[in-house]
Structure 1
Amino acid sequence: MCEISIIVPVYNVEKYLKKCVDSILNQTFKDFELILVDDGSPDSSGAICDQYAEKDSRVKVIHKKNGGLSDARNAGIEVAKGKYLGFIDSDDYIAEDMYELLHNNIVRENADLSICGIYDVYQERQAIKKERIKRTVTSLEAMVLIFEGNNISVHAVNKLYKRKVFSGIRYPMGKYHEDSFIIVEILDKCKTVVIDSIQKYYYVHRAESINTEKFSNRQFDFIEAWELNENKVLGRSRKLDIAAHQRVCFANFLVLDKIIKNNVSDEVTETKKIISYLRRNYFFILKNHVFTTKRKISMTLLMFSLHLYKILSRIQNK
């Protein structure tokens, strides 16, 4: 038995895996097991996992047939022995005191979930330091903050969960943005959530994946997830209703921007549906405090034409 089980799905990341694993093994908090789930990697990632297991008794390795991120996380959950669960993506890395911070907070507040902040790391762009907030909140208050997404993200990876939170909950197979699909169920299992948004998790946006990612229908899973979430929470509170609807609008913006970035707006039949949805919500978007001034300007241009929206979107991307 250990205090924390840290689960890392591993697939085709031989260039990044060592930095990730080293950042975990060098944690100031020591009482953990590290479960590396080799999800049928075609490169040397699986062998690297085995090398770490030989050197450090805290490392456990699962080799399995490729099933995707959700399947790999679920496999780790099944064998985890810790009182608490944490997840790390294998091409990211963490500050040496991340789990000490998360664990201290969850124990001190007797919380079910502990959350810290994320640095978005880009190759040619300095990471943005965000405002730090420290709060202990109810699950409903946490939902509002996560739905709004300004300081606290939906990601699985910057969190420490009481193991019982995942009783009866697993990541959905075959879905993109899998974290978004189960966030409501997770928070419904929590009475108390402790938040310290100091940025301790380094989310690496790889230049090659950013520049070469092609648009696919999987992107629509993001809209689906937040539409489902809106229906799950509808009527719980006015503040949450607004936050949930804002997130659906944001999901539509995100997918539309990816369609435009890949120059496939005329080929994707759902483009008109997204534009129609956003136009119907024009005044809601303009009044909502979460959307930036730039976003509201681009939405105003979209009311006139997609062409004008594209021009501004491409300028902003540059």
Structure 2
Amino acid sequence: MRTMKSRVRNLIISRVPDCMIKNWVTEKIINNSIFILDHVILFGLKFNINRSKRVMSDQESEKVLKKFYFNEQEYIYLSRGRNWLDRNHFDVSIIIPCYKVERYIERCLESVFKIDSKYKVEIIVINDGSPDNTLAIIDNMNLPNNTKVISQDNRGLSAARNKGIEESSGKYIFFLDSDDILYTESFNKAISTLKSGDYDLLDAPYVSFNGLKKQLLNYESVDVEEFFQEYNFELTNAYAWGKFFRRELWLETEFPINYWFEDTHLLYSIFPNVKRYKKVQSPLVEYYINENGITKQADNNMKSLDTLYILEYLLAEVRNKNLLNNKIKEISLVQMSSLLFRRIRFLDEDVQQAAFIRACYYFEKYELNGVYEEKLLNRLNQSFVKRDYRSWKLLSKII
């Protein structure tokens, strides 16, 4: 997560001609702009305090949310066992969940089949009850011997990924969405890098494609190697696809089922256990922006409240494993503010307030109160302590 000041700095620099970026005058303007922004925010917070309204109770919040949608599930401890952990028959297991992708699945698999045969790679395709011709297309392809196709009743992306993890036998696990394309030359180089190092997580930039133009993303801090003394979540994004995960990371965890925003799981249950991290320069995946994807469907959909409910599940898991630390608290603060607000901002005002009160309940239940270097985060922290809905909403718009 970038700090507020760094985001403002990058925004200003993006609008300044290249020839001026190293000019000391420009630097002074940037610093003054950040200073002014800080004071504008402080004024806004004080103004909001004077206009505070009655705080909704936990019972009222739950009543509002249950009226529309409520999806909390209890965390259940998982251990896959030594037999699963000791399966290292392949260098990499590529897991490809499929659901209603008859337009894309052939090109996706064809890109994967080009991987250099000198590497031991297994391809696990999970057909998650597709009602279209997805499975028929797969069956009609000339599948190499290292490909395993598994069909199950439709249970969602998380369940399909979990099934792939359960069936995998690779030292590393790599997730690929079925409407995306693998850049096999970069993938081959990445496997070579993995074999020469002892990494827990290998990451890379990716190419985003919306059907008209392509854009290289996640390119910051390329060709980086880190040995973490503590959890550093700022080096990578929270997408599951496009990364190599050491098998051990999945021994006692899996994706929460029946939630949207399932990749939030990585922030809580996977990344904190990463000690050796590598990021390479060449993109591994061409990510297709699917207009029917969850991100596009979230606006005005009560299911977007999953961004809140999944936290209850993940915080319970983290607490049960004694992994709750300041980094997790900071992540939770951001999850319960800017990300929550962005995903529910089109819902009715009473639903937004009820969601905030529910977040305050989690804040207290899991003792997320903390102290941060960044003033805005401390003020956001206080909005949860005081259950100050107006301040939370203001801060969530800018953090």
Task: Give the letter aligned to residue 242 of structure 2.
Answer: N
From 248, 261, 266, the equivalent of 2:350 is 266
- The equivalent of 1:157 in structure 2 is 241
Mapped partners of 1:11, 1:287: distance in 2: 41
Mapped partners of 1:226, 1:8: distance in 2: 24
Mapped partners of 1:182, 1:131: distance in 2: 20
Per the alignment, in what secondary structure is the counterpart of residue 192 of structure 2?
A: helix
1:253-277 deviation line (CA, Å, top 9, x unaligned)? 11211212x3433344534438978
Task: Give the letter aligned to residue 173 of structure 1.
Answer: I
Say whether 1:19 aligns with 2:107: yes
Mapped partners of 2:285, 2:243: distance in 1: 9
Q: How many residue pairs get matched? A: 284
Say whether 1:247 aligns with 2:340: no
Higher relative contact order (CA 8 A, sep 6+): 2
Gaps of 5+ in 2: 1-88, 364-368, 378-388
Task: Give the letter aligned to residue 341 of structure 2.
Answer: L
Q: Report if the CA contact (8 A) 1:29-1:99 is conserved.
A: no
Say whether 1:170 aligns with 2:254: yes
Mapped partners of 1:125, 1:162: distance in 2: 33
Mapped partners of 2:302, 2:250: distance in 1: 32
Per the alignment, in what secondary structure is the counterpart of residue 207 of structure 1?
A: coil
Normalization by structure 1: what TM-score?
Answer: 0.72
State the shift of 1:183 in Å.
Answer: 4.8
1:91-240 matches, cutoff 5 A: 91-123=179-211, 127-129=215-217, 130-141=219-230, 143-144=231-232, 146=233, 148=234, 151-181=235-265, 183-187=267-271, 190-196=274-280, 198-209=282-293, 210-213=295-298, 214-216=301-303, 217-224=305-312, 227=315, 232-235=322-325
Q: Report if the CA contact (8 A) 2:204-2:222 is conserved.
A: no
Say whether 1:89 aligns with 2:177: yes
Mapped partners of 2:316, 2:186: distance in 1: 31
- The equivalent of 1:2 in structure 2 is 90
Q: Note closer, same or farther for the CA distance 1:75–1:265 as it changes in structure 2 (3 Å cut).
A: same
Mapped partners of 1:258, 1:84: distance in 2: 32
- The equivalent of 1:44 in structure 2 is 133
1:58-89 deviation line (CA, Å, top 9, x unaligned)? 32110111222222122222322333221111
Mapped partners of 1:286, 1:93: distance in 2: 42
State the shift of 1:38 in Å.
Answer: 0.6
From 333, 336, 341, the equivalent of 1:256 is 341
Normalization by structure 2: what TM-score?
Answer: 0.59
Per the alignment, in what secondary structure is the counterpart of residue 270 of structure 1?
A: helix
Q: Note closer, same or farther for the CA distance 1:218–1:124 as it changes in structure 2 (3 Å cut).
A: farther
Task: Give the letter aligned to residue 83 of structure 1.
Answer: K
Q: Note closer, same or farther for the CA distance 1:201–1:55 as it changes in structure 2 (3 Å cut).
A: closer
Mapped partners of 2:310, 2:146: distance in 1: 35
Q: Note closer, same or farther for the CA distance 1:167–1:152 as it changes in structure 2 (3 Å cut).
A: same
Per the alignment, in what secondary structure is the counterpart of residue 331 of structure 2?
A: helix
Mapped partners of 1:226, 1:168: distance in 2: 13
Per the alignment, in what secondary structure is the counterpart of residue 97 of structure 1?
A: helix
Gaps of 5+ in 1: 236-240, 289-301, 314-318
Task: Give the letter aligned to residue 166 of structure 1.
Answer: W
Q: Which runs of 4+ in 1 moved over 6 A?
A: 274-277, 280-284
Mapped partners of 1:227, 1:65: distance in 2: 29
Task: Give the letter aligned to residue 202 of structure 2.
Answer: S
Q: Report if the CA contact (8 A) 1:137-1:193 is conserved.
A: yes
Mapped partners of 2:200, 2:266: distance in 1: 16
1:191-217 deviation line (CA, Å, top 9, x unaligned)? 422222643323333234454432423
Mapped partners of 1:171, 1:36: distance in 2: 17
Per the alignment, in what secondary structure is the counterpart of residue 86 of structure 1?
A: strand
Flag the structure with larger Rg: 2
Q: Note closer, same or farther for the CA distance 1:264–1:50 as it changes in structure 2 (3 Å cut).
A: farther
Query: Sequence identity, in percent?
Result: 22
Q: Note closer, same or farther for the CA distance 1:81–1:272 as it changes in structure 2 (3 Å cut).
A: closer
State the shift of 1:99 in Å.
Answer: 2.3
Q: Note closer, same or farther for the CA distance 1:225–1:249 as it changes in structure 2 (3 Å cut).
A: farther
Q: Note closer, same or farther for the CA distance 1:197–1:255 as it changes in structure 2 (3 Å cut).
A: farther
